[in-house]
Structure formats: C-alpha cells, structure tokens
A and B are shown apart, each in its own frame.
Chain A
C-alpha cells in the first residue's frame, strides 16, 4: 500500500492529514502505541486500562484522565509547557483528548518542529501537530516539556 492509499483509507478519521503535512516513517506494528512512542518505548503498549492488561507506570493512578497521563510523563522528567513552539534544548510532548476530556493520543516533538506519532496499532508518521486533530484524536489539550536528552 502506498502512502497515498494509506491516507485515503485514513481520511474519515484524519480529515486534515495529507502528503504535504505528514510522511510515514515505519510500517504497521501493534507492539507499542502512541503513548509509549512519545515516551520512546517500543516494547510496550501503554494505557491505564481498568482491566489491567496494558503497561502503566506503577506509581501512577490507572485512570483515563489528563492528570494521570501528565503524572506518567512526569516520571520521565516532563512538566507543563506553555506552548508548542520549538525551544532549543527542550523536548516536548502534546497530549490529545476528545470532547469528553479523555486522553486519546500523544505526539513527540522533533527538533525541526514537526511531530512524531504512532497511530494506534498502525504506522508511525511525522507530521504537523494539528494534522492529526479531528474525530479520532480530538484536539491537543496539554503540552509538556523536558530538557532534551539528545542535546
């Protein structure tokens, strides 16, 4: 499947996504999800599911709330950021939530200003932040930042 075909199949869930504001960076893989990918973990599926099937840091409440997600990333050194701009020496994560305020997705900022996302059990993409907003993930609700490990 070409990226154009893939975009076509994803159009309903991601109406803003196109080949100008995104590019694929991996094949499909259901061994990790966006929350893990934002935390740079490709070995686990992170989610605070009440049935306790997925990985979630032990110190953090298993609750599908923004606060619980912030607490999870806080363990990795992240704290609240004021905006999504590129700040030299800082790495940022954006957490998306639906209209009910339930977290749905996380993206990690790349040095050039685009963001990297794992789309569920599907592919990884690099994209403009707002390109994945829409009916599937809702909108960016909170931005976190930490001192970058790579600089």
Chain B
C-alpha cells in the first residue's frame, strides 16, 4: 500500500489516535499524581482503549470483568444477612464504579441469578422503581427492576 493510499490518510480507530493518546499518556504520567492528573490519565486510558480495540472486544472485556466481580461478590457474601455488608463488598462497589455500562449486565444477572443488586441499581441509575411497601420483598423488587429495565430499553424481554 503506497503512502498516497486514501486509507493511510484517513484516521481510523486503530492508527492516528492510538499514537496520539499514547504520547499524551506519557506526558500526563510525567506531570505528577494530582487528582486531576489521575483523572485525566484514566480518561486517556479509556480513550486509548476505545481506539485500540474494536467495540465488540470492549463489550466482551466489560462483561468478563463484571462476571469476575459478580462471582467473587457472590462467593464472599453468600452467608451474610447484612444488606450493608453485602453492598459494601469491594467487588460490588467496583461494579457500581462501572457506572451505567453495568446496568444491562446487572439486570441480566438479576433476571437469571437473582441477588441483592438493588443498591447498585439505585446508586447507578439514581432511580428506584420499588414502592416503599415492597422493601425487602425480593420477588416484587426483582420484578419492579426488570420492568424498569424493559421500560428504559436496557433489557429486552
């Protein structure tokens, strides 16, 4: 392929931004570890991932990470009654940290495996479709959240 090939001149997901972001990452790393620089580094890492990998690969890695975290959370909290202890588990908090991208994965897991996902769903979505009279009524809570997910187009029936 010659240097005049149009494909070489058009920025794609995998060439120009990839190098640019890599250089920016190096530059930011040398600035220091202030809160802003750490935040900027994180955003650059995300940007780097966006250009470096196809979208399907990013989705797969996200799903894989969610599955790993959910598995650890279930294993470690299976004996607990304390909803607080269940929700402050580091893996659960890491899933909350995944933000809105975790919502379809959580709702899918809720549909198939149940589990105390309610704090995470509320924390991420800032919504709560469960009426106060149904607090702790797990079957009805699960149904309310799955209905919410369907209405928002996050899960498909």
Contact = CB atoms under 8 A, between A and B. Distances in A.
On whether the two chains bind one another, the answer is: yes
Interface of A: 10, 13-14, 30-36, 43-47, 49-56, 64, 102-106, 118-122, 136
A22 to B, nearest CB: 13
Contacts, number: 85
A49 B114 contact: no
B137 A44 contact: yes
A56 B79 contact: no
Contacts of A44: 135-138
Contacts of B87: 49, 51
A31 B78 CA distance: 13
B81 A105 contact: yes
Interface string B127-151: 0001010011111010000000000
A43 B119 contact: no
B126 interface: no
28 contacts: A13-B79, A30-B114, A30-B116, A31-B138, A32-B138, A34-B81, A36-B136, A45-B83, A47-B83, A49-B83, A49-B87, A50-B84, A51-B122, A53-B83, A53-B116, A53-B118, A53-B141, A54-B135, A104-B81, A106-B81, A119-B79, A120-B77, A120-B78, A120-B80, A120-B81, A121-B78, A136-B79, A136-B80
Interface of A is mostly: loop
Given A30-B116, A53-B122, A54-B136, A10 B83 contact: no
Contacts of B118: 53
A44 B136 CA distance: 5
Interface residues of B, number: 23
A102 B84 CA distance: 11
A32 to B, nearest CB: 8
A43 B141 CA distance: 12
Given A64-B82, A105-B81, A55 B136 contact: yes
A32 B138 CA distance: 8
Nearest to A96: B81
B99 interface: no
A136 B132 CA distance: 30
A1 B101 CA distance: 35
B137 A43 contact: yes
Contact of B135 (A52, A105, A118): A52
